[in-house]
Structure 1
Amino acid sequence: METDEFWALVEASADGARTPDERLAWLTDRLAGRPAAEVVDFALRLDELRGPVDTWRLWGAALLIFDGFCSDDSFFYFQTWLIGRGRAAYHRVLADPDALADLPEVRRLAGRPMRDWAEDELPDWECLDYVADEAYERITGEEEGLDDAVEARGRELRCSPEPVDEAWDVRDSNELAHRYPRLAALFPLPGRGRAPVWETATP
């Protein structure tokens, strides 16, 4: 499975799906109908696409959306959520994280406290990470067999963020406003009118 086919599957999963769970079920069923080697390919393509967006540049943007609460796990699954938006959105945000402000899914969250966000609105798609595991188990009957298959190819899947770009103080409100003017216009900046609360790794 090449990258083009990966994107085609991810984007097709949104057709007619009303919830993230419906997309996941569709993807799992489609993958489970393919050879096991293609399921491994899917997992590897997902991992490869994670790399370019595993950056402090994107983490800072995610912090604005999450009102300063964006742990390692939250950012890790924010990456899969972004991949789930499709190829065009992924590449726009990769080039400029402030382009998140153009996504309808992000704009719908603006001006609303996180406690009012519905579960299927959260910019977090953790379960996309498990689609290949479930499909592989269905095909082979092997629990956790996907990891062994990936290792047999000389690879290891990421399990947490490890940004490799230049670190900067993602807690600096002025820097956030400078780097992400459109997002800052949609979401209140930490420290303006209230005490900031941060939940993230420190660069």
Structure 2
Amino acid sequence: MDDNTFWALIEDSRQQSGNPDERLEALREQLARRAPTEIVAFQACLHRVRQPVDTWDMWCAAELILDGRCSDDGFWYFQFWVIGLGRAAFDRAAAEPDSLADVPEIRRLAGRRMDDWRDDEWPDAESLDYVAGEAFDLATGEEDGFEGALEAAGLDLPCSPEPDDAEWDVTDAGEVARRLPRLSRMFPPAPRSGGVSGRP
């Protein structure tokens, strides 16, 4: 599956509904109508297109939005959420993480307590990583056959963030403001102690 086909599937499901669960259901149904090899290829493509947002700047953006509570898993799910925004927004965010300040879904969260966020507002799309496996089960009737299909295709996909760009101190408020000026204003970082460098 090439990138254009992958993004067409993402965009089509996004147009189906404003509800994340309904979008995933639409995507699952589309994938289940495809050949098993294409469903496996979708999963491979998902992880290939994800790589440009697996960076320290993007992790810091997630940290700001999530009020300093973005774990490894949280950032992993955040990356899939950025994919779910569609190709244009994804490409802008990959090139400049601070452009997430322009995304309506992010703007709606600014200035609000996280306790007040609805479940469907959270910048988290964990289920996008599972949708191909669910579609594979529907298409083949083989429960739990997806992992075997990935292995047969020679795919050993990651399961956690692995930024390979230059690591920096994401607790340095001045550096955060320099790299992500708009998000820093929208989601002022909470004061921290200890000055631990690197991974949130």
Band of TM-score, shorter chain: over 0.9
1:146 corresponding residue in structure 2: 146
1:155 corresponding residue in structure 2: 155
Go from structure 1 to structure 2 and tell me whether the alpha carbon gap of 1:197 and 1:71 turns closer, same or farther (over 3 Å shift): farther
Contact 1:83/1:90 (8 A) holds in 2: yes
2:182 corresponding residue in structure 1: 182
Q: How does 1:39-78 map to 2 (within 5 A)?
A: 39-78=39-78
Deviation digits for residues 153-203 of structure 1, max 9, x if unmatched? 222111111111111111222211111001011111221xxx5799x9727
Could you say what secondary structure the match of 1:15 adopts?
A: helix
Deviation digits for residues 50-88 of structure 1, max 9, x if unmatched? 112111111011111111000001100000000000111
Could you say what secondary structure the match of 1:13 adopts?
A: helix
1:111 corresponding residue in structure 2: 111
Q: How many residues align?
A: 199
1:82 corresponding residue in structure 2: 82
2:99 corresponding residue in structure 1: 99
For structure 2, the residue ranges without an aligned partner over 5 or more in a row are none
Go from structure 1 to structure 2 and tell me whether the alpha carbon gap of 1:73 and 1:159 turns closer, same or farther (over 3 Å shift): same
Percent identity reads: 54
Contact 1:190/1:196 (8 A) holds in 2: no
1:18 corresponding residue in structure 2: 18
1:202 corresponding residue in structure 2: 199
* Cα deviation, residue 148, structure 1: 1.8
* Cα deviation, residue 144, structure 1: 2.5
Go from structure 1 to structure 2 and tell me whether the alpha carbon gap of 1:134 and 1:201 turns closer, same or farther (over 3 Å shift): farther
- Give 4+ residue runs of structure 1 displaced > 6 Å after superposition: none
Could you say what secondary structure the match of 2:15 adopts?
A: coil
For structure 1, the residue ranges without an aligned partner over 5 or more in a row are none
Contact 2:98/2:181 (8 A) holds in 1: yes
Deviation digits for residues 81-121 of structure 1, max 9, x if unmatched? 00000111111011111101011111110000111111100
Letter of the aligned partner of 2:127 in structure 1?
C
Output the CA distance in 2 between the equivalents of 1:196 and 1:36: 50
Contact 1:28/1:135 (8 A) holds in 2: yes
Output the CA distance in 2 between the equivalents of 1:197 and 1:160: 26
Contact 1:177/1:189 (8 A) holds in 2: no
Output the CA distance in 2 between the equivalents of 1:32 and 1:41: 13
Output the CA distance in 2 between the equivalents of 1:197 and 1:117: 29
Contact 2:176/2:184 (8 A) holds in 1: yes
Letter of the aligned partner of 1:33 in structure 2?
R
Contact 2:110/2:187 (8 A) holds in 1: yes
Output the CA distance in 2 between the equivalents of 1:201 and 1:138: 42
Go from structure 1 to structure 2 and tell me whether the alpha carbon gap of 1:197 and 1:139 turns closer, same or farther (over 3 Å shift): farther
Letter of the aligned partner of 1:32 in structure 2?
A
Deviation digits for residues 3-49 of structure 1, max 9, x if unmatched? 10110010110113131110011011111111111101110110101
RMSD: 1.9
> Taking structure 2 as the reference length, what is the TM-score of the superposition?
0.94
